[in-house]
């Protein structure tokens, strides 16, 4: 691994391990998820000026009104989706910086990811190329309709918050699969887990969260 990916000082492996310990203390217990969080270098997914803050457990701006999610939220959502047996195919709505994408790509066979802001998608592509992650397919679109041509998915993960949960996304989850999504008005968002079963859809409200809104259109 080259020096940029390994990091130095506040981006070093020692700093990353302190973050992993904080995640453990906050209740993240999946060793697979913690290992992925430890090995994916979060500092390359933020601007160089913010690299020294990359391993703080906080969301950071990535420009254009978007953020890279707090590491705990990334770990929490990933741990929840990986509780399903044999997760192989994941759809991510909202590529953003590409950090959550990289975590997922480290854990599953195939990731499909959609981003509505082209400049963010371009940077994310480059970062994943640098990490030699080749199991990701990108789409430039608003994501609200999902990616029906590639359905069905074991899991769909949404990293921006609609006011209401889009039915089109749930339709693309396979039987036995899961949709994890924040939803609600700004300042009153809740993380939801929906599971598709033979008896119907089960829905669980999890944590209070704060995400950027899920918007339509492309930029």
Distances (CA, A) of 142 to 41, 95, 138: 27, 11, 12
Is 86 labeled as catalytic in the residue annotation?
A: no
- Burial label, 202 (beta-carbon count in 10 A; 0-12, 13-18, 19+): exposed
Q: In the structure encoding, which two tokens stand for residue 195, read together? A: 């599971």
Tell whether omega for the bond before 152 is within 30 degrees of 0, i.e. cis: yes
Residues 6+ apart with CB under 8 A from 61: 50, 67
Separation of first and last alpha carbons in the chain? 34
Catalytic choice (12, 52, 69, 119)? 69
Residue written as tokens 């990916």? 5
DSSP 43: G
User: From CA 57, how far away is CA 152, in angstroms rounded?
Assistant: 33
- Answer for the pair 155, 81: CB distance below 8 angstroms, yes or no: yes
Interstrand relation of 66-68 and 89-93 (parallel, antiparallel or unpaired): unpaired
**φ/ψ of residue 38, rounded to 5:** -70, -35
From 8, 18, 113, 88, select the one nearest 52 (Cα to Cα): 8
Q: Mind telling me the catalytic residues?
A: 69
């Amino acid at each position: 691994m080259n020096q940029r990916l390994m990091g130095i000082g506040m981006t070093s492996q020692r700093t990353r391990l302190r973050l992993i310990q904080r995640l453990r203390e906050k209740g993240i217990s999946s060793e697979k998820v913690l290992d992925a969080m430890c090995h994916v270098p979060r500092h390359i997914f933020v601007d160089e000026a913010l690299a020294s803050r990359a391993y703080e457990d906080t969301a950071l701006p990535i420009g254009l009104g978007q953020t890279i999610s707090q590491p705990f939220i990334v770990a929490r959502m990933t741990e929840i989706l990986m509780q399903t047996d044999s997760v192989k195919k994941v759809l991510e709505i909202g590529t953003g910086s590409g950090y959550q994408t990289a975590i997922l790509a480290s854990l599953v066979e195939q990731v499909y990811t959609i981003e509505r802001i082209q400049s963010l998608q371009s940077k994310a592509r480059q970062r994943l190329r640098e990490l030699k992650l080749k199991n990701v397919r990108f789409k430039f679109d608003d994501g609200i309709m999902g990616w029906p041509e590639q359905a069905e998915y074991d899991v769909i993960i949404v990293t921006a918050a609609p006011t209401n949960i889009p039915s089109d996304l749930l339709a693309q989850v396979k039987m036995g699969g899961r949709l994890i999504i924040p939803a609600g008005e700004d300042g009153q968002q809740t993380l939801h887990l929906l599971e598709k079963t033979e008896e119907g859809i089960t829905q669980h409200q999890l944590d209070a969260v704060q995400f950027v809104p899920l918007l339509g259109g492309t930029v």
